[in-house]
């Protein structure tokens, strides 16, 4: 699936993503990277709104799980089970959330569990850097359920 195709999929499945102006920067290769404009996501202090930051971080990881399952040819529902977000620095510009792919071993364990039990859990993290400083970090557990 191309970056454009995945972005259109997100817009169809989760309409609020379009309303928040989230864009797919990288989906096809390497880490999943999603971006958001400050113009569409600022608070009363003209800084990135915490809810938008959280949403972008979570969506980057959700997208990574979707990518894993798509590449494995598996159809599933993806849900977030646990989340923890830290806010370290303010964001006063457009921003991107990056989710690195998990190790091959972790992916294999995740897929084996899904194929055996019809559900599987995986822990992922994502981060946002602004002005060369870590602005926010996310860690969460996602669940894939057989449809």
The pLDDT value given to residue 47: 96
Q: What 3-state class would DSSP assign to 45?
A: coil
CB–CB of 65/124 below 8 Å? yes
CB–CB of 97/57 below 8 Å? yes
* Global confidence as pTM: 0.95
The pLDDT value given to residue 65: 98
Question: How would DSSP label each residue in 6-57?
Answer: HHHHHHHH-HHHHHTT-EEEE-SSSSEEEEE-GGGSB-TTSSB-HHHHHHHH
Q: What is d(CA 67, CA 79) in angstroms, rounded to the nearest whole number?
A: 14
**At what angle are helices 104-117 and 50-71 packed, to 10 degrees?**
70
Mean pLDDT (10-residue bins), the chain, 147 residues: 95 94 94 96 94 98 98 97 97 96 98 98 96 94 97
The pLDDT value given to residue 131: 83
Could you read off the pLDDT of 104-138 as tens digits, one per residue?
999 999 999 999 999 999 999 999 998 888 999 99
Q: What is the mean pLDDT of the chain?
A: 96
The pLDDT value given to residue 63: 98
Phi and psi at residue 23, to the nearest 5°: -125, 145
């Amino acid at each position: 699936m191309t970056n454009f195709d995945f972005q259109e999929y997100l817009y169809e499945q989760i309409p609020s993503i379009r309303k928040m102006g989230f864009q797919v920067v990288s989906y096809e290769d390497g880490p999943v990277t999603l971006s958001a404009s400050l113009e569409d996501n600022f608070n009363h202090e003209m800084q990135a709104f915490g809810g938008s930051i959280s949403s972008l971080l979570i969506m980057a990881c959700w997208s990574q799980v979707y990518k894993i399952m798509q590449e494995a040819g598996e159809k599933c529902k993806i849900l977030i089970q646990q989340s923890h977000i830290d806010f370290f620095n303010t964001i006063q510009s457009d921003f991107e959330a990056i989710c690195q792919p998990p190790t091959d071993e972790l992916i294999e364990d995740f897929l084996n569990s899904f194929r055996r039990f019809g559900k599987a859990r995986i822990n992922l993290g994502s981060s946002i850097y602004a002005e060369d400083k870590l602005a926010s970090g996310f860690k969460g557990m996602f669940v894939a359920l057989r449809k």
